[in-house]
């Protein structure tokens, strides 16, 4: 996965959003509808390229998860970019299904990689605890929790989770992948409409991390666990059967952050380094 386009190609950044309801996640899969497949097929059609150009994405969302501020890149032949760049946005709008929109298409700066250049990803998870349930107009993006939630208790439980930790207790392990992440922001806020929004921002996320954290914090909010419990689960570094992975439809990738152009190369190298915690033996990681 190169940080530069090959000679004769232009690296193109795409900013996009999608409703994840009818997708089996981002990544292309056999016999399943995915965001990557729809977008790559649309690009091939509108540019009339003989072969599909593969997209690299900032965050590979799971089935049912939405995105408002997803970022991807694709390397296009210089001739294709020169011919189509000023018409690409409108042509994609005419070809893509209504649950995917590309909002911006532009040549990327040198060293840009949608995945490895990112310095943070920000997700939002939305919940409602009204006894009547969720507004029907929001039902595809908001989880109903059938217990009253204490926002102050949930925010108190967030504090020990912030910073760099091994989040093995909140992640589905993948062979050869580290579960060490830096959680930069985690907080809850109740809006005037009664919807509770968890803002979760980190340098990167491991599989199921956000939905597991939300599941643990909801148990605190409804009084089933004390505010200290999520931090104790984190410190144990093993999955706790009481931590539920909440449903995907409440989760939205809101924004991806990147450094200044002159720092892209340094960030790419840093992102590729496997991490370990001071004093940790690395078991189960890396």
* Strand ranges, E, within the chain: 9-18, 56-57, 66-77, 100-107, 120-128, 143-144, 163-166, 180-190, 196-202, 251-257
What gap in Å lies between CA 242 and CA 230, rounded to an integer? 10
pLDDT at 273: 75
Q: In angstroms, rounded to a whole number, what is the distance separating the alpha carbons of residues 49 and 37?
A: 15
Instruction: State the average pLDDT over residues 164-168.
Output: 95
pLDDT at 178: 87
Distance from C-alpha of 103 to C-alpha of 89, rounded to nearest angstrom? 7
pLDDT band of residue 283 (cuts 50, 70, 90) is very low
**Tokens encoding 248:** 């995907």
**Active-site pick, 62, 75, 129, 166:** 62
| pLDDT tens sequence across 94-147 | 999 999 999 999 999 999 999 999 999 999 999 999 999 999 999 999 999 999
Report the mean per-residue pLDDT for the chain.
92
Q: What count of Cα atoms within 13 Å lies in the side-chain half-sphere of residue 246?
A: 24
Active site residue 22: no
C-beta separation of 62 from 41 below 8 A: no
Beta bridge partners of 252: 66, 124
pLDDT of residue 190: 98
């Amino acid at each position: 996965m190169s940080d530069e386009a090959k000679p004769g190609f232009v690296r193109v950044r795409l900013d996009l959003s999608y409703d994840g309801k009818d997708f089996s996640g981002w990544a292309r899969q056999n016999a399943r509808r995915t965001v990557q497949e729809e977008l790559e097929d649309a690009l091939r059609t509108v540019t009339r390229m003989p072969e599909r150009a593969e997209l690299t994405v900032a965050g590979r969302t799971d089935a049912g998860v939405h995105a408002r501020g997803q970022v991807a890149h694709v390397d296009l032949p210089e001739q294709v970019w020169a011919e189509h760049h000023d018409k690409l946005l409108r042509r994609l709008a005419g070809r893509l299904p209504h649950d995917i929109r590309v909002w911006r298409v532009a040549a990327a700066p040198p060293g840009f990689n949608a995945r490895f250049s990112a310095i943070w990803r920000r997700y939002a998870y939305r919940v409602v605890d009204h006894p009547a349930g969720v507004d029907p107009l929001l039902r595809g993006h908001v989880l109903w929790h059938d217990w009253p939630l204490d926002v102050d208790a949930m925010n108190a439980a967030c504090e020990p989770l912030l910073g760099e930790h091994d989040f093995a207790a909140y992640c589905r392990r993948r062979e050869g992948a580290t579960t060490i992440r830096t959680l930069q922001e985690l907080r809850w806020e109740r809006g005037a409409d009664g919807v509770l929004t968890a803002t979760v921002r980190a340098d990167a996320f491991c599989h199921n991390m956000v939905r597991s954290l939300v599941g643990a914090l909801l148990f605190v909010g409804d009084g089933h666990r004390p505010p200290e419990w999520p931090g104790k689960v984190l410190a144990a570094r093993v999955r706790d059967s009481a931590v539920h992975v909440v449903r995907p439809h409440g989760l939205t990738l809101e924004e991806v952050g990147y450094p200044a152009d002159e720092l892209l190369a340094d960030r790419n190298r840093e992102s590729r380094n496997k991490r370990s915690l001071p004093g940790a033996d690395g078991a189960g990681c890396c």
